[in-house]
Amino acid sequence: MGKIAVVPGSFDPITNGHLDIIKRGASIFGEVYVVVLNNSSKNPLFSVEERIKLIEEATSHLPNVKVQTFSGLLIDYAESVNASAIIRGLRAVSDFEYEMQITSMNRVLNDKIETFFIMTKNQYSFLSSSIVKEVARYGGKIEELVPAHVELALNEKYNKN
Ligand code: PNS
């Protein structure tokens, strides 16, 4: 069956950059749980249910990927699904400080669960859900940045259809 890894995030919405990390994680780990953390400090565009649906559609061709949600600490979720690893994508040096902080905190909470970083592909190194939303809001082209169904969902949110 192989080891279980968790890919956590806000995924508001999932981008091609996230998808690349999920695919590469799923090629190494036996099972990958993509978990939408219900982070109350952010004001999301998509509801948790909408985000889950968008991720499920984007990953439906990956048989060892499951999508779930969790409210609380990531490490508690990882323990509850018997994960041995957390996977995060790294884009640029600017990600490093934040990632180091959450990785160190998670290690204090449970040092048995390792965090692995996957460097994003060059073409996604600038990509974030926030930047995609900003471009979509003003009618810019996002077809190379998100799956087609996510583009549609963004256009619906911003009444571009
Ligand atoms: O996609 P994001 O917003 O960069 O993901 C950040 C996320 C959801 C992974 C992070 O905010 C998180 O782990 N939240 C859960 C709360 C938690 O466990 N905090 C303690 C570690 S700092």
The full DSSP string for 41-107 is TS--SS-HHHHHHHHHHHTTT-TTEEEEEESS-HHHHHHHTT-SEEEEEE-SHHHHHHHHHHHHHHH
User: Residue of the nearest CA to atom 22 in ligand 1?
Assistant: 102
Q: What is the mean pLDDT of residues 114-135?
A: 96
Domain count, the chain: 1
Q: Higher pLDDT residue, 5 or 92?
A: 5
Does residue 156 fall inside a structural domain? no
pLDDT value at position 160? 60
In a domain, 107, yes or no: yes
Which residues have any ligand 1 atom within 6 Å of their CB? Answer: 8-10, 37, 39, 73-75, 102, 105-106
Report the alpha-carbon distance of residue 105 to residue 127 in Å, rounded.
25
C-alpha to C-alpha distances, 134 to 9, 11, 137, 153, 158, nearest whole angstrom: 19, 15, 5, 14, 10
- For residue 154, tell me if it sits in a domain: no
The answer to whether residue 41 scores a pLDDT higher than 90 is no
pLDDT for res 82 = 98
The reply to whether 83 falls in a domain is: yes
The residue contributing the CA closest to ligand 1 atom 20 is 73
Residue 131 domain-assigned?
A: no
Residues labelled as active-site residues: 18, 42, 91, 129
Q: Among 6, 7, 10, which is best to mutate for testing ligand 1, by the most ligand atoms less than 8 A from CB?
A: 10
CA of 80 to the centre of ligand 1 (A): 16
Residue 22 CB neighbours (<10 A)? 26
* Residue entry with tokens 């890919």: 7
Mean pLDDT score, 74-79: 98
In a domain, 22, yes or no: yes
Give the CATH number for residue 10: 3.40.50.620
Atom 7 (ligand 1): residue with closest C-alpha?
A: 9
- Per-residue model confidence as pLDDT tens digits over 143-156: 999 999 999 999 99
55-67 pLDDT, tens digit each: 999 999 999 999 9
For ligand 1, the distance from its centroid to the CA atom of residue 129, given in whole angstroms, is: 15
Residue 33 in domain? yes
Of 130, 57, 119, 127, give the one whose Cα is nearest residue 88: 119
Atom of ligand 1 nearest to the CA of 75: 18
Q: Kindly state the tokens that stand for 98.
A: 């934040």
Ligand 1 atom 12: residue of nearest CA:
74
More reliable by pLDDT, 161 or 1 = 1
- The pLDDT score that the predictor gives to residue 123 is 93
